Structure 1
Amino acid sequence: MVLIIIIAAILLVYLITIILFKNGLKKVFIPTLTDAINIKVSIVISAKNEERNLENLIKALDEQEYPKEFFEVIIVDDNSKDATLAKTKSLISEKHNFTVISNTNPDLPPKKGALALGIENANNDFILITDADCTPLPGWINTFVSKFRDGYDFIFGIAPFNEQNSSDINSFACFDNLRSTLLTFSASGLGMPFSASARSFGFKKDSFNRIGGYKNTFQTLGGDDDLLLQAAIKNNLSIGTVTDRQAFVYSNSPFTFKEFIAQKKRHIKTSHYYLLKNKLLVGYWHTINLLCFISILLVPFSIYFLALFATKMIADFYTIKNRQSDLAYNFYDYEIPLFQFLYELLVVFHFINSFTTLKRWR
């Protein structure tokens, strides 16, 4: 009888959690109202050994549905060993709102040092950042500007992976991206933002300087997104989200399982520096989900444990089925339980792996 009560209590807590996070998603997945009032924006990109990716990025930024006189693009060559600098100069030679500068100081931290240099040289009060291997859709700037006009200090958007990019890990990486994005945005909808993607991120320059810029994030290789957001939360700055499809920023997923593991390691390692309340939030979410997931192993002791496992798998299936279109994904029905099973197993692995040594940014 006691065991049944415990199982019922865990099930109740899980269902309440799912309902809360579902409501959080409803609050953020609403269209952004845009208008014709323009503000000047600076887009800053750190590029290290990105000569192969720059053409797509520059083309996407040049095709933004936003007046060119109202935005500038600053590409910072971050001590590249390839032809990134020369390629950038060639590609932007006739684009008057594009400029390239070089970060030649090897003592500055990789990526964040280059971004800080670009922001310092920005002429405008509103900053957008993305990565050099990304492709922002045409409505990216316009949608973020609309959010800035609502008064937000920091804003983050959705950054899906391209599907069908001939990668062995592509489909699962897309699934992982979907799960992570849904968690991030549902938490934000509940007033508890904790993570953002540097592929689609924006802030007021004044707000960035007010929290000390990146200086409090130099202890980690990553963190140009998450830890900057953590600093904004700590300083009670307002944080908004952009979920409109016309503002998506696409990039390719890792091409191998090894690259995928390395990417997740960087992300999870950054979470070690989260504020305590955010650590508790993420820890609670994964704990309640893992309890329900591993309950299948306890079925030999009591058939009632099957209720926990079945409820979780059904809830996961319908969440993915109903929400995958929000990120323009489309998984086969058989992939959802398969990927969900692998996803839960890897949650534990990623956490343990995050405590091992991390290599420098390439």
Structure 2
Amino acid sequence: MNSFLDWFILYVFAGCILFNLGLILILWRVFRSAKKSAPTQSGICTGLSVIIAAKNEAGRLPFLLSALENQKPVSVPFEVIIVNDASEDSTPVLLHKASLKYPWLKVIDLPQSSGKRRALTRGVEESQYNSIAITDADCLPQDGWFRALVNNFNQDYDVIFGVAYSEINDNYVSRIGSYENFRGTLLLLAAAYLKIPYSARAANFGFKKASFHALGGYHSTNDSISGDDDLLIREAFKAKMKIHYFTDESSFVKYFQKTSVFDYLRQKARHTGSSHHYLFLHQFILTYWHAMNIFGQWAIIFAPFSVWFLWLTVLKTLFDAVITSLFERKCGYKFPLIDKFVIPFIYEFFIEVNFFYSFFRKSKW
């Protein structure tokens, strides 16, 4: 071994250890702080408006409506506005029947498909209250979701977000997607704790209407067809608004993973495409983090030059398994033991694939 290689391996080893130990410490503080009851100011949140854009979701909507009906009572009035974006299935009929059953449900029909952002904007314009929550039509909020939203709005935050998770099943594409979401959630929470938030899960997202308008609404995020959540956070971060997260289990929102490779790649390309429009600070941090992890994954290839490259891959694999074991349940997951060692390799590979695929794939609503 020459001296340059010695120093290079030492640098990468130190970086791997420090970054992963730092992530563990930050996440421990994230979930520890969530157990403490933050002081709230009654009267800040005077009502809650939940906005949902729906397009051809007739199969999922009955389950969503049931989950919303079963929310624990909150101390403020609420409404649910579902914007039907020119659905071609039975979504309009289902929604209008439901509006007769649920007094809190308001349905808006758009005659022509205008995209998710415009559908959400229309819902915000029609809402009664200043506290706005967003979720997707194919999601299932847990029964404490409304309470968590109201509690956080009563702490006078401009933008809030929570945890979204998916069930782990036998479909391997779905399991890869679940792991990708889990790892992404950890990074989102860590960044928000460090006061450098860069994204959120659109399935569990909220903001003050006044703050939304102050940012120019979704017009300020039109540089990408996706990213109604993370690019709005980009603008809120630039404006120095108060952004916070909540992690209590009763506030989780369940969503359904894609089960085919093509659908998964298409979805992730859309999400990854919005990352091209992040602020330089966030791009730099994420690039450094992912580059270290990807190098750690492939370091074993250079083992013929030094056995320490092999140990670097082993170290990276062990850290992945430890972090997963420590925090999986706090994000709604429980991965099989073998997945904790195997899926991280596939996950890092798909990060590379999704990144390049996002340049060539045109996203659709």
Per-residue deviation, 1:305? 1.4
Per-residue deviation, 1:68? 8.5
Look up the SS of the partner of 2:254 in the other structure: strand
Q: Which residue matches 2:140?
A: 135
Q: Does 1:221 align with 2:225?
A: yes
The whole-number CA distance in structure 1 between the counterparts of 2:230 and 2:250 is 23
Q: Which residue matches 2:5?
A: 3
| TM-score calculated relative to the size of structure 1 | 0.94
Q: Which residue matches 2:106?
A: 99
The whole-number CA distance in structure 2 between the counterparts of 1:8 and 1:228 is 39
Q: Which residue matches 2:238?
A: 234
The AA in structure 2 aligned to 1:23 is L
Preserved contact between residue 21 and residue 187 of structure 1 (Cα < 8 Å): no
Preserved contact between residue 48 and residue 77 of structure 1 (Cα < 8 Å): yes
Q: Which residue matches 1:26?
A: 28
Per-residue deviation, 1:105? 4.7
Q: Does 1:55 align with 2:62?
A: yes
The AA in structure 1 aligned to 2:16 is Y
Q: Which residue matches 1:315?
A: 319
Counterpart of 1:162 (choices 160, 167, 191) is: 167
Show structure 2 runs of 5+ residues with no match.
Answer: none
Q: Which residue matches 2:94?
A: 87
Q: Which residue matches 2:124?
A: 119
The whole-number CA distance in structure 2 between the counterparts of 1:266 and 1:235 is 25
Per-residue deviation, 1:250? 0.2
Counterpart of 1:171 (choices 175, 182, 185) is: 175
Q: Does 1:282 align with 2:286?
A: yes
Q: Which residue matches 1:146?
A: 151
Look up the SS of the partner of 1:64 in the other structure: coil
The AA in structure 1 aligned to 2:56 is N
Per-residue deviation, 1:91? 1.6
The AA in structure 1 aligned to 2:20 is I
User: Cα distance 1:246–1:270, how it changes in 2: closer, same or farther (>3 A)?
Assistant: same
Per-residue deviation, 1:23? 2.4
Cα deviation, 1:139-198, whole Å, max 9, x if unaligned, reads 00101211111121100110001233x645222221111111111111222222111011
The whole-number CA distance in structure 1 between the counterparts of 2:265 and 2:182 is 16
| TM-score calculated relative to the size of structure 2 | 0.94
Cα deviation, 1:99-120, whole Å, max 9, x if unaligned, reads 10112354x4x01000000001
The whole-number CA distance in structure 1 between the counterparts of 2:93 and 2:232 is 31
Look up the SS of the partner of 2:216 in the other structure: coil
The AA in structure 2 aligned to 1:127 is I
The whole-number CA distance in structure 1 between the counterparts of 2:245 and 2:257 is 22
Preserved contact between residue 168 and residue 256 of structure 1 (Cα < 8 Å): no
Cα deviation, 1:76-126, whole Å, max 9, x if unaligned, reads 0111111211110112212111110112354x4x01000000001100010
Preserved contact between residue 75 and residue 118 of structure 1 (Cα < 8 Å): yes
Cα deviation, 1:305-340, whole Å, max 9, x if unaligned, reads 123212111111111111111122111211111101
Q: Does 1:330 align with 2:337?
A: no
User: Cα distance 1:32–1:138, how it changes in 2: closer, same or farther (>3 A)?
Assistant: farther
Preserved contact between residue 44 and residue 74 of structure 1 (Cα < 8 Å): yes
Preserved contact between residue 137 and residue 248 of structure 1 (Cα < 8 Å): yes
Look up the SS of the partner of 1:92 in the other structure: helix
Q: How many percent identity over aligned positions?
A: 32
Matches for 1:184-333 after TM superposition, within 5 Å: 184-333=188-337
The whole-number CA distance in structure 1 between the counterparts of 2:20 and 2:353 is 24
Preserved contact between residue 134 and residue 251 of structure 1 (Cα < 8 Å): yes
Show structure 1 runs of 5+ residues with no match.
Answer: none
Preserved contact between residue 42 and residue 72 of structure 1 (Cα < 8 Å): yes
The whole-number CA distance in structure 1 between the counterparts of 2:47 and 2:76 is 8
Which runs of structure 1 show a deviation greater than 6 angstroms over 4 or more consecutive aligned residues?
Answer: none
The AA in structure 2 aligned to 1:54 is L
